[in-house]
Amino acid sequence: MPKFNENHNYKGTLVCVEGIDGSGKSTQLALLRDWLKEIGQDVIFTEWNSSELISQTTKLAKKKNMLSPRTFSLLHAVDFADRLQQVIAPALKAGFIVLADRYAYTAFARDVARGVDSDWVREVYNFAIKPDLAIYFDIDPKDAMERICSNRAPKFYEAGMDLKLSNDPYESYIIFQSRVIKEYKKMVDEYGLVKLDALDSIHSKQVAIRTMLKDVLKAKGVDYDAV
């Protein structure tokens, strides 16, 4: 399996979306998935912290607030490794389009924002397959919080409350997510993430994503007219 900084040679195509909660990335990926299915493409969807092997352990530990930043990082890495082996790599080998709601970049952003060494985190995920297209939805943390709070309050870890940045979850959210965004913006140049404005219309973002995916598929030799 190629390392994270090397292009893979699998038949399939790996697309991932990144951004803080409230950026609209999941909505865009769901629209993309529905469109690809409608036009007859083989699609597999995977999301962060969803491995049957480890996700329940992570959720239980989070509920008991017993995770240090490095332990948090390692649990997510185990989850990612299991999904890579069981879902992502087999689907790519079979020629599927794999849509990932969050990828290794989430660890590079969140874990470093929690104080974990950036080189260490990147080395932990060095086994990951490099995406064919990685999109980052950029948004101000205040705008993201307004979107989230229309339905619920910020969650404990989402707000970085484990770091004791503030006793106020809303203030803590802004501080922590600002750190996360800072790391994401570094990755735009480091890893070639495609940055989209999260405040643009749903339609305009979807059109841009489909256009980028068509270009990726065309470069891989997939019939352009088929998509």
User: pLDDT at position 86, please?
Assistant: 94
Q: Which is it for strands 13-18 and 97-101: parallel, antiparallel or unpaired?
A: parallel
So what's the pLDDT on residue 80?
94
Whether the per-residue pLDDT at 54 is higher than 80: the answer is: no
Tell me, yes or no, whether 3 lies in a domain: no
Question: Is 224 part of any domain?
Answer: no
**pLDDT value of residue 2:** 55
Mean pLDDT, residues 184-199: 96
The pLDDT value given to residue 96:
97
Identify the pLDDT of residue 61: 65
CA atoms lying within 13 Å on the CB side of residue 162: 21
Nearest-CA neighbor of 14 among 119, 79, 84?
84
Q: Which residue has the higher pLDDT, 27 or 4?
A: 27
Report how many domains make up the chain.
1
Binning pLDDT at 50, 70 and 90, where does residue 225 land? low
Asked if residue 49 is part of any domain, the answer here is yes
Q: What angle do CA 221, 8, 42 make, to 5 degrees?
A: 55
As a whole number, the mean pLDDT across the chain is 91
* CATH number, domain with residue 26: 3.40.50.300
- Domain assignment present for residue 72? The answer is yes
Task: Indicate if the alpha-carbon torsion angle 17, 23, 28, 33 is positive or negative.
Answer: positive
d(CA 189, CA 195): 10
Q: Is residue 29 part of a domain?
A: yes
7 occurs within a structural domain: no
Cα–Cα dist 139/11, whole Å = 33
Q: Is residue 82 part of a domain?
A: yes
Residue 62 has pLDDT above 70, yes or no: no
Report residue 105's pLDDT band, with 50, 70 and 90 as the boundaries. Answer: very high
Residue with tokens 């598929």: 217
d(CA 50, CA 194): 25
> Has residue 149 got a pLDDT over 70?
yes
**Mean pLDDT confidence for 190-200:** 97
Asked if the model's pLDDT at residue 21 lies above 80, the reply is: yes
Mean pLDDT of all residues in 4-13:
90
Residue 1 in this model has a pLDDT that exceeds 60: no
User: What does the pLDDT look like over 111-142, one tens digit per residue?
Assistant: 999 999 999 999 999 999 999 999 999 999 99
Q: Is residue 66 part of a domain?
A: yes
pLDDT at 71 over 90: no
Query: Is the predicted pLDDT of residue 14 greater than 60, yes or no?
Result: yes
pLDDT at 56: 73
| pLDDT for res 220 | 85
- pLDDT score of 84 more than 70: yes
> Where in the sequence is the domain holding 123, given as residue range(s)?
13-216
